[in-house]
Amino acid sequence: MNRLAFNSKNFLLFLCLSFFLSCNSTEQHANIRVAVAANFYPLMLELKQDFEQLHAVEVDLISGSSGVLSSQIRQGAPYDAFFSADLDYSMDLYEDGYSAQLPKIYAKGRMVLCSNTGTVDLSSLCMGGKNTKIGIANPKTAPYGKAALKFLQTQTCFTELEPRLIYANNINQLDQYISNGVVGLGITAASSIEMKSFLKDYQILSFTEGLEQTFVLLDGKKTPHRLSQQFLDYILSEEIQEIIVSKGYRL
Amino acid sequence: MDWSPFLLSFKLALLTALVLLLIGIPLAYALSFVNWRGKRLVQALIALPMVLPPTVLGFYFLLVFSPQSSIGTFLNSFFDLQLVFSFSGLLLGSIIYSLPFMVQPIQNAFEQLPNDMLQFARVLGKGKWAIFKKIILPNSVKGIATGLVLSFAHTLGEFGLVLMIGGNIPNETRVASIAIYESVELMQMEQANQYALILLLISFVVLVFIYSLGNNSKRLVRW
C-alpha cells in the first residue's frame, strides 16, 4: 500500500509530467492531407515519398473507398485534396461547394477479373462452381464495386451469381480477400496487378468502360492551397502520368 | 517501423485516463456517499458505453458534432474547435467511451470501505473534506489505480469509435488499432504483426498489473 501512497505532491508531478509528455508535439513542418481512393493508394504511397523529397512538405495520405472518403469530407474531415475513383463523387463535392475548382482526371482505371486459387475464364463465369465466392468492392461506396456489379448484371446468369457475391469495404480489402483465397474470383482494379503481385491468373475486362478517376482541391482553410495545388500539378505532370500508366492505368 | 500510431495511442489513452480521473472521483463519490433523485438513471448512463456498440456512440457523435449541426457550427465559429476527424474529438469520444471503466472500480472501492471507520472519524470531529482526503482516498488507492489502468487500456484498444469519428489521419487520428487494420488491408502482414504483438503484450502486462494489485495470496479460499 505504501508504495502506491496517495501523495498529492507526487500526483501533481505525475500530472504535469504526463501533460508535458503529451504536449511536446514534434516539430511541425508544412503538411497536406490527401484522401485517396483505395485503388490508387499503393501507388500514391510511392509518389508521396518522391514529392516529399522534392519539396519540403509532408503529405499525409488517408485511404478508403471514394464513397466513405467523400462522406467524411461532408462531415468535416480536414482533407486538402480528394482523389476519387470516379467522376461522380468529385463532381458532387464540387457542385455542393466543397471545392472551387472543377474535378480533373488523373487516371483512367480498368477492371480485372482475377483469381488466386485457380484459372480465370470469363466464359466460365456462369458455369463456375456454385461454391466459388465472387468478391467485389461495395457498390454503395466504391466506384469499382459499382462498375463490377454493373458488369455482372450484364451476364445472363446474374441471378445465380448474386448469392455468391462478397462485398469488401474497398479495393485494398478486396485484394486482401482475393490474395488469401477468401474469394475464389474477384473483380478488382487492374492497377492491383502491377502494384501487388499476388495473382495466379487474371483477365483484364478491356471491354468495360474505364473509370475516369478524378481529383478535387478542397477548400480547407488551415493549409495553404499553394502546396496542395503543387501536389496536384505534380500528379498531372508528364513524368508522373507515365508512371501512372505503367502501373496499369490508362490516360 | 513507424511508431507514430503508438505514440498517438499512448497520448490519447494517457490524456483520457487523466481527465477521467478528475471526473471519475467526484462522480464515484456522488454515487457512493450521497443520496439523490435520478441516481439510478445516471448510473445507467455511465455504464451505457459498456453495452452499447461503439458504432452507436460514433453515430450520435457525428450527428451532434458535424459541421452541419448547430453545435458543430457553434464550436467551430466561437472556439475554432472541430470535434469530428480530429484528436480533440477522439479525446472527448474516448472519455465518454471509457467512463464506466474509471467510475466503477472507484465506486466499488468507496462502497467497500467499512462504515464504522467513516463514522468514527465523524464522531472524532473530522470534517467531510478531511475524511475524504485522509481516509477515503488513501484507502481506495487500489480502486483508483485499477480505474486508471483499465480506462487507459480500454482506450488503447478502442477501434470502432475511432474508425467512425476519427477516420484514419496520420498523427491525428491514426491510432495503433487503426494502423493494424490498415496494414492488414494493404497486406503488410509484417507490420500488422509487429503492431498486434505490441498491443497484445501491453494488454497482457496491464492485466497482470491489475491482478497483482488484488494481493491474491491473502484471500485464498481454503476448504
Is A78 or A18 the better-scoring residue by pLDDT?
A: A78
Q: What is the pLDDT of residue B78?
A: 86
Mean pLDDT of all residues belonging to chain A:
86
DSSP 3-state percent helix, strand, coil across chain B (nearest 5): 75, 0, 25
Report in angstroms the alpha-carbon separations of B64 from A69, B44, B71, B188: 19, 21, 6, 36
**Among A16-20, B17-21, B124-128, whose mean pLDDT is lowest?**
A16-20
Closest C-alpha to A64, from A75, A52, A73: A73
Asked if A5 and B11 come within 8 Å (Cβ–Cβ), the reply is no
Q: How confident is the model at residue A139 (pLDDT cuts 50, 70, 90)?
A: very high
Q: Does residue B219 have a pLDDT over 70?
A: no
Q: What is the pLDDT of residue A238?
A: 94
Q: What is the pLDDT of residue B217?
A: 58
Q: Which amino acid is at A79?
A: Y
Asked if B168 and A77 come within 8 Å (Cβ–Cβ), the reply is no
**Does B160 reach chain A within 8 Å, measured CB to CB?**
no
Is A23 or A62 the better-scoring residue by pLDDT?
A: A62
pLDDT in tens, B156-182: 989 999 999 998 899 999 999 999 999
Distance CA A83, CA A28 (A): 25
* Nine-digit cell string for B189: 502482414
Per residue, the 3-state secondary structure of B108-126, as one string, reads: HHHHCCCHHHHHHHHHCCC
Asked if A175 and B187 come within 8 Å (Cβ–Cβ), the reply is yes
* Nine-digit cell string for A41: 493508394
Q: How confident is the model at residue A4 (pLDDT cuts 50, 70, 90)?
A: very low
Distance from CA of B50 to the nearest CA of A (A): 26
**Among A126-130, A239-243, B115-119, whose mean pLDDT is lowest?**
A126-130
Nearest to B85 among A21, A41, A72 (CB): A72
Is residue B220 in a domain? no
Q: Regarding beta strands A81-83 and A31-37, do their DSSP bridges make them parallel or antiparallel, or are they unpaired?
A: parallel
Q: What is the pLDDT of residue A2?
A: 45
* b/e per residue A33-42 (b: at least 16 CB within 10 A): bbbbbbbbbb
Q: Does residue B66 have a pLDDT over 70?
A: yes
* Nine-digit cell string for A42: 499503393
- What mean pLDDT is predicted for residues B27-54? 94
Partners of A230 in the β-ladder: none
- In sequence order, what are the residues at sequence separation of 6 or more whose Cβ sits closer than 8 angstroms to the Cβ of residue A98? A73, A74, A216, A218, A219
Distance CA B170, CA A60 (A): 6
**Chain A residues within an 8 Å CB radius of B186:** 41-42, 172, 176
State the CATH number of the domain containing residue B86: 1.10.3720.10
Q: What is the pLDDT of residue A25?
A: 47
Distance CA A125, CA A185 (A): 9
Is residue B80 in a domain? yes
Q: Does residue B5 have a pLDDT over 90?
A: yes
Distance CA A195, CA A247 (A): 7
* Nine-digit cell string for A246: 505503367
- Percent of chain A having pLDDT more than 90? 58
Crossing angle of helices B87-111/B39-51, nearest 10°? 120
Asked if B86 and A78 come within 8 Å (Cβ–Cβ), the reply is yes
**CA angle at residue B174 from B170 to B178, to 5 degrees?**
140
Distance CA A78, CA A226 (A): 16
Query: Which sign, positive or negative, has the C-alpha torsion B5, A49, A111, A77?
Result: positive
Distance from CA of B169 to the nearest CA of A (A): 6
- Percent of chain B having pLDDT more than 90? 71
Unique residue bearing C-alpha cell 502482414: B189
Q: What is the pLDDT of residue A24?
A: 47
Is residue B84 in a domain? yes
> Could you list the residue range(s) of the whole structural domain that residue B183 is in?
4-212
Crossing angle of helices B176-185/B189-213, nearest 10°? 150
**Chain A residues within an 8 Å CB radius of B187:** 172, 175-176, 179, 196, 198
**Among A119-128, A163-172, A173-182, B179-188, whose mean pLDDT is lowest?**
A119-128
Q: What is the pLDDT of residue A22?
A: 53
Q: How confident is the model at residue B80 (pLDDT cuts 50, 70, 90)?
A: confident
Q: A113 in helix, strand or coil?
A: strand
For testing contact with chain A, the best of B25, B59, B73, B168 (most A CBs within 10 A): B168
- What mean pLDDT is predicted for residues B98-125? 93
Contact predicate A70/A82, CB 8 Å: yes
CB atoms within 10 A of CB A136: 27
Nearest to B82 among A38, A41, A76 (CB): A76
- In sequence order, what are the residues at sequence separation of 6 or more whose Cβ sits closer than 8 angstroms to the Cβ of residue B81? B75, B88
Closest residue of chain A to B172, computed from CA coordinates: A60
Phi, psi of B173 (to 5 degrees): -135, 5
pLDDT in tens, A226-244: 889 999 999 999 999 999 9
Q: How confident is the model at residue A223 (pLDDT cuts 50, 70, 90)?
A: low
Q: What is the pLDDT of residue B67?
A: 83
pLDDT in tens, B194-209: 999 999 999 999 889 8
Crossing angle of helices A225-236/A41-54, nearest 10°? 120
**Chain B residues within an 8 Å CB radius of A4:** 141-142, 145
Distance CA A78, CA A34 (A): 9
**Does B15 reach chain A within 8 Å, measured CB to CB?**
yes
- What mean pLDDT is predicted for residues A146-150? 94
Distance from CA of A109 to the nearest CA of B (A): 19
**How many domains does one find in chain B?**
1
- What mean pLDDT is predicted for residues B107-132? 92
Q: Does residue A114 have a pLDDT over 80?
A: yes
Unique residue bearing C-alpha cell 480521473: B21
Per residue, the 3-state secondary structure of A29-71, as one string, reads: CCEEEEEEEHHHHHHHHHHHHHHHHHCCCEEEEEEECHHHHHH
**Does B22 reach chain A within 8 Å, measured CB to CB?**
no
Is A178 or A10 the better-scoring residue by pLDDT?
A: A178
Query: What's the full length of chain A, in residues?
Result: 251
Nearest to A77 among B72, B85, B185 (CB): B85
- What mean pLDDT is predicted for residues B61-67? 90
Q: Give chain A's domains with CATH numbers.
A: 31-109+211-246 (3.40.190.10), 111-204 (3.40.190.10)
Is residue B205 in a domain? yes
- In sequence order, what are the residues at sequence separation of 6 or more whose Cβ sits closer than 8 angstroms to the Cβ of residue B214? B142
- What mean pLDDT is predicted for residues A175-204? 88
Q: What is the ipTM of this complex?
A: 0.78
Query: A248: phi > 0 → left, psi -120 to 50 → alpha, else beta; which?
Result: left
CB atoms within 10 A of CB A239: 8
Is residue B223 in a domain? no
- In sequence order, what are the residues at sequence separation of 6 or more whose Cβ sits closer than 8 angstroms to the Cβ of residue B139? B109, B113, B117
CB atoms within 10 A of CB A7: 11
Q: What is the pLDDT of residue A20?
A: 54
